[in-house]
Amino acid sequence: MKGISTDRICSDLASCLKQNGIDFVARYYSRTTKNPSKRLTLEEATALNQAGIALIAVYEDGPTSNSYFSNDRGKSDGKSAYAYAQDINQPSQSAIYFAVDYDATSQDIQGPIKEYFQGVFDGLKDSSTSKPIYKVGVYGSGACCDYLRKNLDFVEFSWLAESTGWLNSKTYDKWNIKQSIATTTLCGLDKTAWDSNEAQGNYGQFTIIKANNTSSTTPTTPTTSTAYTTIQTGLATINSSTIDKTTDFLKASTGTVKRLALTQTGVVTTVAASIGAFIKAEPTISGIIIITAILGLTWLISLYIYIEYLLDCKRIEAASDPTKHSVT
């Protein structure tokens, strides 16, 4: 995977970066920077994601000497990074890298830098009570990445800094991201304004589109008003037709068939009322399927009544026509 890291806002460059084969952009979280363009914003993150570019987050507030690093500072940075990630809508289980931006000695790495990263983890954990927990990554020399990955099991990602002269950087090959110096202008960014990066496997990347997009692939459930109106209209048509035919039938018949008609008309009316109530209560896809089956049954009952009506009319006609009877 091909990416860049930069302290410049990339919102307007998103399409150009994608056209130039950029898969991810690494941007900063920072509490104290005096350079506003260094910080990733929600608007910028959205623009990059919409162009199909993933994000990498790195927290950096001046970690350029051993005096910066302590457990307390790590805890403070962890909490700040968590708060910023939440504002950006960074998803759970993606990574936040924390920078060690100098050629740290082994003593520094095994002492205050290790303590700093323990504080970072504690700060993230304290901030995330029953909420998303972000994975921890380290940006630094080969020696720094190697030691922290081997000795702190919560440090899951390593980003090898571009300075090949730093301790063990030439030999370290377990990186998730590897940085190198840019040699050309890219989408208006001067070569001094960005660094080239390559990534392998899972490198803690993320997108925020889902967090900011309310669209869903879940089938839309009919609303009460829509489902109710549709079914009630169908019921009104069927019930009206049934009652009209039954009324004609009643005018021409008596006895058992008339009683049957009255009974079936009551059934149709009752079913119609019951379906109306059901739809108000259960406006779901499964509810619609059940109602469709009930409507089919109601239609068959209506058809049966109409057939009985026709047969009874024939019987009445035959009984009243003397030419249709033989005299013995």
Shared-domain flag, residues 96 and 122: yes
180 pLDDT above the threshold of 90: yes
Shared-domain flag, residues 173 and 229: no
158 pLDDT above the threshold of 90: yes
Residue 219 lies inside a defined structural domain of this protein = no
With residues binned 3-state (H G I as helix, E B as strand, rest as coil), the percentages for the chain, rounded to 5, are 55, 15, 30
3-state secondary structure 181-208: ECCCCECCECCCCEEEEEECCCCCCECC
- Which two tokens mark 137? 């990554």
Shared-domain flag, residues 208 and 229: no
Of the candidates 212, 235, 265, which is a domain's last residue?
212
Give pLDDT, residue 276. Answer: 54
Range of the domain at 86: 2-212
Predicted confidence band at 300 (pLDDT cuts at 50, 70, 90)?
confident
Shared-domain flag, residues 44 and 145: yes
Shared-domain flag, residues 269 and 249: yes
In the chain, how many domains are there?
2
- Which two tokens mark 287? 């509810």
Give pLDDT, residue 131. Answer: 76
Residue 327 lies inside a defined structural domain of this protein = no
Residue 218 lies inside a defined structural domain of this protein = no
- Which two tokens mark 164? 């090949």
Residue 328 lies inside a defined structural domain of this protein = no
Of the candidates 212, 238, 273, which is a domain's last residue?
212
User: How does pLDDT run across 116-155, given as a tens digit for each residue?
Assistant: 999 999 999 999 987 779 999 999 999 999 999 999 999 9
Give the least confident one: 91-105, 180-194, 206-220: 206-220
Give pLDDT, residue 315. Answer: 60
Residue 217 lies inside a defined structural domain of this protein = no
Shared-domain flag, residues 16 and 145: yes
Report residue 156 CA to chain centroid gap. 25
Give pLDDT, residue 226. Answer: 39
CATH number at residue 98: 3.20.20.80
- Number of H-type helices and E-type strands within the chain: 10, 8
Give pLDDT, residue 304. Answer: 72
Residue 183 lies inside a defined structural domain of this protein = yes
User: How does pLDDT run across 241-293, given as a tens digit for each residue?
Assistant: 444 444 444 444 444 444 444 445 455 455 555 555 554 444 555 555 666 67
Instruction: Taking residues 29-45, report their average pLDDT.
Output: 95
221 pLDDT above the threshold of 60: no
Closest CA relative to residue 295, chosen from 226, 234, 246, 227: 234
Of the candidates 212, 241, 260, which is a domain's last residue?
212
Shared-domain flag, residues 126 and 164: yes
Shared-domain flag, residues 97 and 244: no
Shared-domain flag, residues 60 and 141: yes
Residue 14 lies inside a defined structural domain of this protein = yes
Shared-domain flag, residues 234 and 187: no
Q: How far, in Å, CA of 281 to CA of 296, rounded? A: 21
Shared-domain flag, residues 279 and 230: yes
Q: How far, in Å, CA of 234 to CA of 291, rounded? A: 11
Residue 141 lies inside a defined structural domain of this protein = yes
Shared-domain flag, residues 265 and 288: yes
pTM of the model: 0.65
**Residues whose CB falls within 8 Å of the CB of residue 21, separated by 6 or more in sequence, listed in order:** 2
